[in-house]
């Protein structure tokens, strides 16, 4: 019985963790900017969520499938919103500014 209770608690908490990026979406929408969001980070997470969903489905472990599906959906929404607020060429321009700042000693 203890493993079942622990699985339910862990799965429930994982759903809350999967919903956490909604806070990031809210901030991006409020500020109308996604400059502080790492698309690479979210891309890596999305691949991981998909893999866990696949494993959970193959092993028939709903405690893995449900929270990772929530995470995949919310993570995908985060990337979509981030791309919507991303300015064209912003990442290239920011990289150039960071490089210039390190050369000139500025920040």
Mean pLDDT, residues 39-56:
97
Domain ranges of the chain: 36-86
Q: Is residue 95 pLDDT above 80, yes or no? A: no
pTM for the model: 0.76
Q: What is the 3-state secondary structure (H, E, C) of the chain?
A: CHHHHHHHHHHHHHHHHHHCHHHHHHHHHHHCCCCCCCHHHHHHHHHHHHHHHHHHHHHCCHHHHHHHHHHHHHHHHHHHHHHHHCCCCHHHHHHHHHHHHHHHCCC
Residues 66-75 pLDDT 10s: 999 999 999 9
pLDDT at 77: 97
Q: Among residues of the chain, what percentage have pLDDT more than 90?
A: 66
- Residue 4 is predicted with a pLDDT of 85
Note whether 37 and 92 are within 8 A (CB): no
What local confidence, expressed as pLDDT, does residue 96 receive?
52
């Amino acid at each position: 019985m203890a493993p079942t209770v622990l699985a339910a608690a862990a799965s429930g908490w994982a759903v809350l963790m999967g919903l956490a990026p909604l806070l990031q979406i809210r901030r991006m929408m409020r500020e109308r900017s996604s400059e502080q969001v790492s698309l690479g980070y979210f891309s890596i997470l999305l691949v991981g969520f998909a893999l866990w969903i696949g494993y959970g489905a193959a092993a028939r472990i709903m405690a893995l499938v449900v929270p990772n599906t929530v995470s995949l959906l919310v993570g995908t929404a985060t990337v979509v919103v981030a791309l919507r607020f991303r300015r064209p060429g912003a990442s290239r321009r920011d990289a150039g500014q960071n490089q210039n700042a390190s050369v000139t000693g500025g920040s």
